[in-house]
Amino acid sequence: MIKLAKRDWRATIKTGIKMEIGSQFIERVKRQGMYQQITFTVAAEKVAVGTIKVLKSEKIIDLAEAVRLAERYNLPIHAGEMNIILPKGKMLNDFLIL
């Protein structure tokens, strides 16, 4: 079952959205100047340093929105054909799955 995410990240944790691999949720995102609801999946992705946990979407979103989501959920974002967007002050090594 897909759950809708609240605006505040603390509220999303309280509502039971778990950031485990395979979980999905819907987020309201500005895309091409319009707000849309996009499904994000928490997935494991292989990169040069190992395997990391990322939020994945098949649709491309604006860079500003990707940065906002990365900082909100404290996870890298991989949306469509974009590169991986990291939260401020983080590196790929911080998200390694051991």
Per residue in 21-45, pLDDT (tens digit) is: 888 888 889 888 899 999 999 999 9
Q: Enumerate the β-bridge partners of residue 9.
A: none
Q: What is the pLDDT of residue 33?
A: 84
- Alpha-helix runs per DSSP H in the chain: 9-14, 63-73
The mean pLDDT value for 47-70 works out to 91
Tokens of residue 2, six digits: 């897909």
Pair 37, 59: CB distance under 8 Å: no
78 band by pLDDT with thresholds 50, 70 and 90: very high
d(CA 24, CA 26) in angstroms, rounded, equals 7
